[in-house]
Structure 1
Amino acid sequence: MDKHITWLDSPTDIMVSKYTSASELKPYIGSFFKIRSAVFILCMEGTIECSLNSSECIIKQHNVITLVPNSFVEVHTISPDIELYLVAFSSDFMGCVNYIRSTMNCITYIYRKPIMPVPASTACLFKDFYGVLSGYTTRLHTVVNKEMTKAIFMICSQGIVGLYKKNERLDEHELDRYTEIFQNFLDLALKFYTTQHNVSFYAEKLGLTLPYFCTSVKKAVGRTPLEIIVQIIITDAKAELKGTNLEIKKIAIGLGFSNLSFFNKFFRQHVGMTPQEYRGKSYTF
């Protein structure tokens, strides 16, 4: 099995990159990644077929992609004419800005729809902004400090929030409470999914009745709490199967399954193949 990177993070508080050929991104094809950092991407040209948090997607020209920390990415194909601009903020830095609760108040919509199409004029403005950031972070005499990085992050995140508020019909009066419950649930799920698979655990943690908890999450994102827990477990399992050489039994135990047989049954039910079959599956560039 080829060696794949499982975890991706920015080596510095902020990283700015540009990709103008498929060959630069070829090593990422067919691998499954878990993103530790917050990532903002602009696609100016070309297409990418990929899976974002278990949803099959096609990234196209003039698309803006927002990946929140702990997102899962699997790249299938990249067109030769690709032109991407990327800004990433490291996981260490993200611990200073309370990403989900405060800055990204559209997190539920970004979670459902990480890809946002923008007009060509807006894409060009974003491209110019990436150019400014690239110059700022690569000039040797510039000291990139946390306060300045926080300001840059706020510009990026608030720009994304503005896009979502403009393009999505958000009924804030109806969804405020539901959104808050979902955000709190998502925080807990990402923290406890390797040990707690029972929906009632999360309802109790949030101090909510089970029916109200399930209804609230469903209204916020159109999916039940169980579906979200399953999605997180499956995407992490895929990352371990594709990105490591760990024994499948160890992966199962690490994800909170008491035995391999139950994990195999769970994985097959939700993926349509066994963990062994999935590990052997590959995509062609």
Structure 2
Amino acid sequence: MEDFLLNCDVCTDRRITVITSLDEIRREMLDREIVMNDYVAVLLLRGSAEVSINDKIYRIEQNQMLFGQPSIVLRKLMISVDAEVKSIAISGEYAEEIFALDREAINMQIFLKQNPVFSIDEDSVRVFCQYCDLLKSRLAPKKLPYQKEITEALLTAFKYEFGGAIINRVDFPRSEFTSADNIYKQFLVLLESSSAKYHQVSYYADKLNITPKYFSAVCKKISGKTALQVIDMAVLRDVESLLRRDDMNIKQIAATLGFPNQSFFGRYVKKKLGVSPQKYRENLANNV
């Protein structure tokens, strides 16, 4: 957004960006295309805007939201001179780190991919603005006690407020989901059905009665990631969650997560996270 917003009140820590006001803005047009890497929620408080999302033109009016997610393509953005917005952007990697891949999340993700612009009511507008202001205050340059934990708690609460605002306004058109959408949803349900996760792409392809090649193509189309990357995201989230606990040793964690032995688990964590499980546990304890 920095390319076309003038005199924006922007606060960021590279993982989260909050835009809370536009003091002066003139009509601009973005000729180059942008492939999104972040999750972005933009609320238009006044004025109007128009944008091409994946080659489809959307007009945005007062009290409407634009939701962008990784892999969508934005082009030809135009904003009226009287526009006022508030926006929260979360990096794709950070969102994957703090938000679970559950059935509700994927239903919402698919719906928002099909409906990136939608209206919200006055109460939801007020709440969205409050979260913008709260998150901005937590992104202060000065390091605050429990700053990371507070920020993550606010983002989690915002996720549910945001989801609730959508559910209150629209019915999820489940019948309009494509076969690829349904395959991906079923995959996530399988993936989240137990702590011990299978790491092989072929296992999930067999369960879904499709070939591994087609399964990988579906994952790439829907999420922008390979099937193995999605599996690793879920496994690593569980790894971090269990390593935060002090009532399980490394061997027990490896067994819980379905690794054949502690040595294999150690090599996996070292390859994916760059350090041993024990070192990663120490880093978590020290909030590194």
Shorter-chain TM-score category? 0.5 to 0.7
Of structures 1 and 2, the one with the larger relative CO (CA 8 A, separation 6+) is 1
Name the amino acid aligned to 1:92: E
25 and 184 in structure 1: CA distance in 2 versus 1, 3 angstrom threshold: farther
The number of aligned residues is: 193
Distance 2:174 2:31 in 1: 39
Q: Give 2:80's aligned residue.
A: 79
Kept in 1, the 8 Å contact 2:37–2:71? The answer is: yes
Question: Could you say what secondary structure the match of 2:97 adopts?
Answer: coil
Within-5 A mapping of 1:1-285: 12-20=14-22, 23=25, 26=28, 29-98=30-99, 101=102, 104=105, 105-138=107-140, 140-142=142-144, 145-170=147-172, 180-183=182-185, 207-208=208-209
Question: Could you say what secondary structure the match of 2:209 adopts?
Answer: coil
Deviation at 1:128, TM superposition (A): 2.7
- Listed one character per residue, the Cα deviations across residues 53-103 of structure 1 (whole Å, up to 9, x for unaligned) are 332101111012222222221243110011111111123312313565456
Distance 1:144 1:74 in 2: 39
121 and 94 in structure 1: CA distance in 2 versus 1, 3 angstrom threshold: closer
Distance 2:131 2:46 in 1: 17
Provide the alpha-carbon RMSD of the alignment.
4.1
Distance 1:133 1:58 in 2: 28
Kept in 2, the 8 Å contact 1:22–1:79? The answer is: no
171 and 54 in structure 1: CA distance in 2 versus 1, 3 angstrom threshold: closer
Percent identical residues: 16
54 and 15 in structure 1: CA distance in 2 versus 1, 3 angstrom threshold: same
- Listed one character per residue, the Cα deviations across residues 175-224 of structure 1 (whole Å, up to 9, x for unaligned) are 7x9854244789xxxxxxxxxxxxxxxx96874359xx9xxxxxxxxxxx
Question: Could you say what secondary structure the match of 1:65 adopts?
Answer: strand
Deviation at 1:43, TM superposition (A): 0.9
Kept in 2, the 8 Å contact 1:46–1:80? The answer is: yes
184 and 24 in structure 1: CA distance in 2 versus 1, 3 angstrom threshold: farther
Give TM-score scaled by structure 1 length: 0.54
Deviation at 1:36, TM superposition (A): 0.9
Deviation at 1:129, TM superposition (A): 2.6
Question: Could you say what secondary structure the match of 1:58 adopts?
Answer: strand
Distance 1:144 1:55 in 2: 42
Kept in 2, the 8 Å contact 1:100–1:107? The answer is: no
Q: Give 2:256's aligned residue.
A: none
Deviation at 1:50, TM superposition (A): 0.2
Q: Which runs of 5+ in 2 are unaligned?
A: 5-11, 189-203, 225-288
Q: Which runs of 5+ in 1 are unaligned?
A: 187-202, 214-224, 233-285
Kept in 1, the 8 Å contact 2:138–2:151? The answer is: no
Question: Could you say what secondary structure the match of 2:168 adopts?
Answer: helix
51 and 123 in structure 1: CA distance in 2 versus 1, 3 angstrom threshold: same
Name the amino acid aligned to 1:153: L
Distance 1:174 1:92 in 2: 29
- Listed one character per residue, the Cα deviations across residues 142-199 of structure 1 (whole Å, up to 9, x for unaligned) are 3675433332222222222212222222377997x9854244789xxxxxxxxxxxxx
Distance 2:51 2:207 in 1: 34
Kept in 2, the 8 Å contact 1:100–1:183? The answer is: no
Distance 1:180 1:153 in 2: 27
Question: Could you say what secondary structure the match of 2:73 adopts?
Answer: strand
Which piece of structure 1 moves more, 36-45 or 132-141?
A: 132-141
